[in-house]
Structure 1
């Protein structure tokens, strides 16, 4: 896989049972790139390690006054230099390719998992953790994957040099062969502590990222209640904890680095002292002494990769663990589907609660618990908490449909929809049946004032559809964002549209017009609205009261508000005792208000 070939047509099925297994799976899926990096790494490190032999041969040729051997040493030195440059160039290319392709594979896997889980992802994993995994963690995972081949090349080079020194000069070669393994394992006792400190740093960084993302998402609310400084202080404390943890981790790694410099230096002192002693005795030549000394000095370069692989694994292991945790999350329903890809038609039925939404009708659902309403809306969209809770559409379980087909059949708009940055035209350019025009959807969602506001705020867009929307629609009010999101949902024109509190931030007059517009535009299509607003409930063909996880009453709004105290308590925001005293009078006020709004409209 080359960088220009990205993205992968199929990133594969990851082994997400643990962080190390996930890293091993990534390495196995890049064997071609790993072997290429290993080959270039061997060429580079062996060429670098051959330089001392060439220098030693040249010095001995000068001592012996041999011009032919000096010329041969010069030719070998030039060849080693060429091999060093060529190997380093292509090693860097192969290593960067391995890094980027591994990171791209992880990002594709995360994106695919997010698409499968939908909004259920953030209910299982904090949004800040997802952000940390898809940014910093991906980089560290890619670092370890590409460092493995370079470390392998460095380790093989160290072994080859030790063997060569034993053959070239056994007396000094034994000292080097005995000392180098000690250098390689000297830092092992410090690695567990360094790993723990790195894990702590990543944990605190993840918490800080989560706090920052939550603060940014709720900035408008924080400004409204004057809580900006409070959350700023919290983030400041969290960032200081990250800094302290990073400093403690850096101290341990600096100690490891210092040991990696000190011990090779001591080995060189021993080699020089013993080599001079052997040279005085005439047991080795000057050229052999220079060769062995230079080899030890050069070997400090590949030995640095032992430290790097330890650092890469220590930092990537917690990152891989977090990535594996996200990738191991499964949709409660079958992603591939065991039925054909045809979109079924018919009634929408939830066996868990007994909720029935007849085909082609507007059904309103009243639920006193907002959290339970949100979970029920997700279940209707094909994201049940358990396999046994699968919803039926036309008698067909949604979990037996391919995921794409299930999402084409049922669309859920939650109570806090997200608007992506871009133009209004791009916002409404979503997959749909093609039967609903964007301007008709905007009209049904009562977005006329939103278009005017966007046009007035834009200096270069002649058409309001070309005006830009900021990230998450932060420049718009809550009601404006809600109506644009509703228009986007209407454009898709799904077989079943589930709306969770679609008008909670809209005034009553606009809400009444939205109810009429949605009912007219969705004529003949199945629509389910979770709401407690009398204005929406009065336009519904069928109203269902869900109480304590079960359907408690079914009817129309004006009937239920008189006959069902629990329904009246939710809709009118009264306790049952208050409703018993003033239920009839309150309903008269509601009906009068409805009539006035209808006359005004």
Structure 2
């Protein structure tokens, strides 16, 4: 609200003008009846009809400009919320995506942001409706004290009842959004993994899971819709009863001679006019109820704890490490237990794990997406927690095997900012030059979102080329060749070894072709370093190593 003060003020002022004009219309009609028809004054009738026309023009333009300001406030507020959510999700410190599916976050950034943004329009409408009720009450008080008091005392009671009716809607709206976001997240995951699901024959299980979650979402949506319909129906009934009472009291007053014919016309017309503001209050409360539920979901994302804290920024932080010495001192995180590892500058080291969870935990610590529970990770003798995240991630690039590609050209995905020589070398080392030759447009070939226009092997090679073209002082590659054939894998292993010679490289993989290109290999078993040595020596000496890399 504070961020859209200007539009809120403009919209509210014009909304108040519109509702004031609407409330004055019955009064002017009553005056025209009294002066022109009952009194037989034709000039007076024409005068009041002219005033009535002017009021209609004013309220029409007030509605136009007020609605424009309200929509602008609503759309802009939703956009700013959406931007804040994206910034939080993409924050280097991470943490916002923990426990949330990508589709769920997308639903929060779209539907929830839209509902919260709509609260600005609801506020403008509510202020205008309140003004209309106030003007109508004042006019009725001037016409008749009993009528005015009836409106002034009955309206707050009616609004309080409407507020009570909105509580179930708020609760059910929150449940509806939660279930819808969950269904959206599962759907996005299933679409992303469709090829894998088909490959393992799990389509039926996936469809059954989505059908179950979708049915839960549908049930929640129907419950929320029933709550909204029930609220709207009861509010309509209460509003109609209240207005009928106002009309009845006004009619009896006119029959007794307490008010004139024109005043009776104004009173009945005002009673009919009050249907509008009171109905708008029903809509306003529904918007507020849904907006509050969505606001809670947005706040949960924006207030989510950071996974890590950023180190010093700018010139206050350590100089960008360039030597590339990587050291783990007694690192314990998740399944990892007291891992000590020292990688010298320019060394190519392989890491083999008997449990994929060990590899995942190691990568999280090296990328500093999480900090170790015990121990430390050092870069050139400096604890990475003392480095600004931007500097650390410019020095240490962790390229996981499931990296996404983006919509654009092949060249843009590999690295449009890199030099031509770096791109050419990265393409050759990763085997992506074969992909380039296979595509009609070469490097200018269009890549669809998440790289779905390419095969799995092509996507993996392009992602590897992107990592190599970045030319980071320390490069950590996680299973970069799982989706290619054996011949291509051998060629890629040779290319990585040649291109990264003299640059610190950590290959977290169980691929014999890649491990054969390393200076030494570290075996992680049950979260601890079980052995260190050359690939050939470990194959001969350790059965657990043979099982991990050859089975």
TM-score by length of 2: 0.90
For 2:373 and 2:32, how far apart are their aligned partners in 1?
76
Aligned to 2:335: none
Cα distance between partner residues in 2 of 1:551 and 1:120: 29
List aligned pairs for 1:305-320, cutoff 5 A: 305-320=280-295
Structure-1 residue corresponding to 2:8: 34
Residue 122 of structure 1 and its aligned partner are, at CA, apart by 4.2
Deviates more, 1:238-247 or 1:347-356: 238-247
Q: Is 2:89 aligned against 1:114?
A: yes
8 Å Cα contact 1:333-1:400 kept in structure 2: no
Number of the residue aligned with 1:282: 257
Match of 1:375 in 2: 361
Q: Deviation at 1:121?
A: 4.9
CA distance 1:69–1:429, change in 2 (3 Å): farther
Q: Give the 5 Å matches for 1:250-399.
A: 250-335=225-310, 337-338=312-313, 339-340=316-317, 342-346=319-323, 347-351=325-329, 352=331, 353-385=339-371, 391-399=377-385
Unaligned ranges ≥5, structure 1: 1-26, 456-460, 574-601
8 Å CA contact retained: 1:176, 1:271? yes
Q: Deviations over 1:58-85 (max 9, x none)?
A: 1111212334543442343233212211
Is the CA contact (8 Å cut-off) linking 2:23 and 2:273 kept in structure 1? Answer: yes
Structure 1 distance, partners of 2:82, 2:389, is 20
**Mapping for residues 117-132 of structure 1, pairs under 5 Å:** 117=92, 121-132=96-107
Structure 2 equivalent of residue 480 of structure 1: 458
What residue ranges of structure 2 are gaps of 5+ in the alignment? 332-338
Alpha carbons of structure 1 residues 34 and 210: separation in structure 2 relative to 1, 3 Å: same
- The equivalent of 2:393 in structure 1 is 407
Residue 453 of structure 1 corresponds to which residue in structure 2?
A: 438
Of 156-165 and 284-293, more deviation after overlay is shown by 156-165
1:189 to 2:189 alignment: no
SS in 1 for 2:443: helix
Partner of 1:350, secondary structure, is strand
Name the CA distance, whole Å, in 1 between partners of 2:468 and 2:123. Answer: 51
| Aligned: 1:150 with 2:135 | no
Work out whether residues 362 and 541 of structure 1, in 8 Å CA contact, stay in contact via their aligned partners in 2: yes
Structure 2 contact 351–522 (Cα < 8 Å) conserved? yes
Question: 1:45–1:153: 8 Å Cα contact kept in structure 2?
Answer: yes
1:186 aligns to what SS in structure 2? helix
Cα deviation code 1:4-32 (max 9, x no counterpart): xxxxxxxxxxxxxxxxxxxxxxx233223
Q: What secondary structure is seen at the aligned counterpart in 2 of 1:543?
A: strand
- CA drift at 1:531: 0.7
Query: Once the two structures are superposed, what CA deviation does each residue of 1:307-345 show, in whole Å capped at 9, x if it has no partner?
Result: 222212322233222222222234333336354374222
**What is residue 469 of structure 1 aligned with on the other side?**
447
SS for the counterpart of 1:354 is: strand
Q: Is residue 334–residue 401 contact of structure 1 (8 Å, CA) maintained in 2? A: no
Q: Could you tell me whether the CA contact under 8 Å between 2:359 and 2:508 is conserved in 1?
A: yes
Of 3, 21, 24, 1:47 maps to 21
Q: Report how far residue 189 of structure 1 moved.
A: 3.3
CA deviations 1:231-269 (Å, max 9, x no partner) are: 334433433433333233222212222233333322332
Q: Which residue of 2 aligns with 1:439?
A: 424
The alignment covers a number of residue pairs equal to 539
CA spacing shift, 1:406–1:329, aligned 2, 3 Å: farther
Conserved? CA contact 2:94–2:308, under 8 Å: no
Deviation by residue 1:87-136 (Cα, 9 ceiling, x = unmatched): 11111211111111111112211221222258865443222311211222
Using the alignment, how far apart are the partners of 1:343 and 1:234 within structure 2?
Answer: 48
- Deviates most, 36-45 or 471-480: 471-480
Structure 1 pair 234–326 and aligned structure 2 pair: CA distance change class (3 A): same
The CA RMSD measured in Å over matched residues stands at 2.5
* 1:355 match: secondary structure: strand
1:390–1:291 distance in 2 versus 1, CA, 3 Å: farther
Which residue is 1:86 aligned to?
61
